[in-house]
Amino acid sequence: MSADQPLLEVENLTTTFSTDNGTLTAVDGIDFSVDTGETVCIVGESGSGKTVATESITRIINTPPGEIEGTVRYKGRDLLSLPESELRQIRGNDIAHIFQNPQEAMNHCYTVGWQIVEALQIHQDVSDDEARARAVDLMDRVGIANASSRFDDYPHEFSGGQKQRVMIAMALVGDPDLLIADEPTTALDVTVQAQILKLLDDLQEEFEMGILFVTHDLGVVAEIADRIVVMYAGKVMERGGVLDIFDHPGHPYTQQLLECLPEFGGTGGGISGTLPDPYDPPEGCRFAPRCEYAEEACRTGEQPEEVEVAPGQRVSCVHYGPGGNPSIVRNDEFGPIDGDGTAPTDGESEVGPADD
C-alpha cells in the first residue's frame, strides 16, 4: 500500500435488491474513502442506505437478493472481484464488523470466553490454552473487569455495555486494520454509550485502525468523527471534515439534521417528512421533495455533481453548482463557509457568495 493510498476506497458503489415488488436501489453510485487511523462517519436518517453501503464492502449482504456493483479497494485490492474464499480471509482478519445489537450476535449457550476463543481459532492456529490466555487479555483490554473470572460467564450475566465490549474484543481477534461499526452504541444508555465511544477511540490508537462508523446520531458523530459522509436515500448529499460540517453545513439536508440537535435549539427529534420511495426515487436531488429551497432545477436530471465549497468539504446541491446562488440556502444559524463569507471559486464554476 503506498503512503498516499487510502486504506479503503469505495467508488460508484451501487447496491440493489430484487424483491416481489420490483428492484429497490438502496445505495446509488456513492464514493467514499477511509484512511489508516481515521474515523469516517456515515450519517443519515433511517433507510438512507448506511448499513447496506457498509455491508456491501465485505459482501456480508446476501447476493441474491442483493446485487453489488462498483469498486471497493482495500489496500489497493478490489474486494468485489475476489472469490468468496479470499474474502472470508479478509473478513474478521483485516476488516471487522460490530453491530448495534450484541445480544443477537452472541450465542447464549456458550460462555463469553469460549466465544472469543472460537473467533480466535477461526482465524489463527493457536492451542486452547494460548487462545484462552489471549481471550482473557482481550477482555481485559476492552475493559471487562476481572476478565479471567468472567471468562466462564454466560452472555446473560453481562450488561448491554459489557456485551458490546465483548463484541469489540471478538472484532479485535484478527488485529483488523479497518473496523466497521454500525450503530454500536444506539442500544445503550447515554453514559455507557460515552464509555464505548471512548473505548473505540483508545483502541483505534492502540491498534492503528481506520474506523467506518455508521450512525443516525450527530451527537455521536461530534464525539468521534474525523470526516463525515452525509447520506440520503442512497446518495451522498455532503461530505467533509467534522469541524467544517458542524460549523458551516452546506446542504440543506445537513443543516436540517444539525438543527434537530439541542445545541442548535432543536428538540432532538427528527426532521419532518419521509424518505422517497426507494423503488421509484425522484429525479434531480433526492432531497428536493422535502427541501424548502427546492426550485425547478432541483427536480430534474441526476443528483447534482458535488461541488467543493471549502477544502475537503463537498456539497451535492444545485444552489452551489454552476449558475447557482449558495446564499439561497445559507443559514444564519451556522458560520460562513471559508470564514470570509465566500465559497472558493475554481474560476470555472460560478459559485457566488456563500453567506450574506
Ligand X SMILES: Nc1ncnc2c1ncn2[C@@H]1O[C@H](COP(=O)(O)OP(=O)(O)OP(=O)(O)O)[C@@H](O)[C@H]1O
Does 322 engage in binding with ligand X (CB under 6 A)?
Answer: no
Q: Is 216 a residue that touches ligand X (CB under 6 A)?
A: yes
For ligand X, which residue of 7, 10, 24, 329 counts as binding (CB under 6 A)? 24
User: Which position has the grid cell 461530505?
Assistant: 239
- Minimum Å gap between C-beta 159 and Ni ion is 23
Find all residues with CB under 8 Å of 312, minimum gap 6, and list them. 227, 240, 241, 244
Q: Which of 12, 23, 46, 274 binds ligand X (CB under 6 A)?
A: 46
Cα–Cα distance between 28 and 196 in angstroms, integer? 32
Within 13 A of 216's CA, how many CA atoms are on the CB side? 17
CB of 56 to Ni ion, least distance (A): 12
Work out which of 49, 176, 281, 321 binds ligand X, going by CB under 6 A.
Answer: 49
Per rule CB under 5 A, count of chain residues that contact Ni ion: 2
Strands (E), the chain: 8-19, 22-34, 39-43, 66-74, 77-78, 95-98, 178-182, 210-215, 227-232, 235-241, 307-310, 313-315
Cell numbers that stand for 102 in this block = 450484541
- Indicate the residue among 27 and 343 with the shorter CB distance to ligand X: 27
7 binds ligand X (CB under 6 A): no
**Distance from C-alpha of 66 to C-alpha of 187, rounded to nearest angstrom:** 27
Amino acid at 123: H
Interface residue with Ni ion among 39, 51, 185, 313 (CB under 5 A) is: 51
Question: Which among 133, 134, 199, 132 is positioned nearest to 161, based on CA atoms?
Answer: 199
Which member of 34, 39, 50, 151 binds ligand X (CB under 6 A)? 50
Cell numbers for 353, please give them. Answer: 457568495
Region from 44-52, 159-167, 262-270, 276-284 binding Ni ion, contact rule CB under 5 A: 44-52
**Backbone dihedral region of 22: left (phi > 0), alpha (psi from -120 to 50 degrees) or beta?**
left
Using the rule CB under 6 A, is 65 a contact of ligand X? Answer: yes
Residue closer to Ni ion (CB basis): 55 or 244: 55
Binding mask 249-278 for ligand X (x = CB under 6 A): -----------------------------x
Instruction: Please identify, using beta-carbon distances, which residue of 50 and 97 lies nearer to Ni ion.
Output: 50
Q: How far apart are CA 175 and CA 77, in angstroms?
A: 19
Per CB under 6 A, 336 contacts ligand X: no
β pairing state of 39-43 and 227-232: parallel
Asked whether 259 and 266 are in contact (CB, 8 A), the reply is yes
Shortest Å, Cβ 135 to ligand X: 30
Least gap, CB of 69 to ligand X (angstroms) = 15
Does residue number 70 form part of the binding site for ligand X (CB under 6 A)?
Answer: no
* Closer to ligand X by Cβ: residue 19 or 149: 19
Q: How many of the chain's residues bind ligand X (CB under 6 A)? A: 15
Interaction between residue 100 and Ni ion (CB under 5 A): no
Q: Which of residues 278-307 bind ligand X (CB under 6 A)?
A: 278
Instruction: Tell me whether residue 50 or residue 239 sits nearer to Ni ion (CB atom).
Output: 50
Nearest alpha carbon to residue 251 among 298, 316, 311: 316
If binding is defined by CB under 6 A, does position 51 make contact with ligand X? Answer: yes
> First CA to last CA across the chain, in angstroms?
45
Q: Decide if residue 48 touches ligand X (CB under 6 A).
A: yes
Q: Shortest distance, CB of residue 96 to Ni ion, whole angstroms?
A: 17
Closest distance of CB 306 from ligand X, Å? 20
Can you tell me whether residue 308 is helix, strand or coil?
Answer: strand
- Give the separation between CA 113 and CA 178, rounded to whole angstroms: 23
Q: Which of 193, 229, 234 shows the shortest CA–CA distance to 211? A: 229
Query: Are 234 and 58 in contact, with CB atoms under 8 Å apart?
Result: no
Nearest residue to Ni ion, by Cβ distance, number only: 51
Binding residues for Ni ion, per CB under 5 A?
50-51
- Applying CB under 6 A, the residues found at the interface with ligand X are 17, 19, 24, 26, 44, 46-52, 65, 216, 278
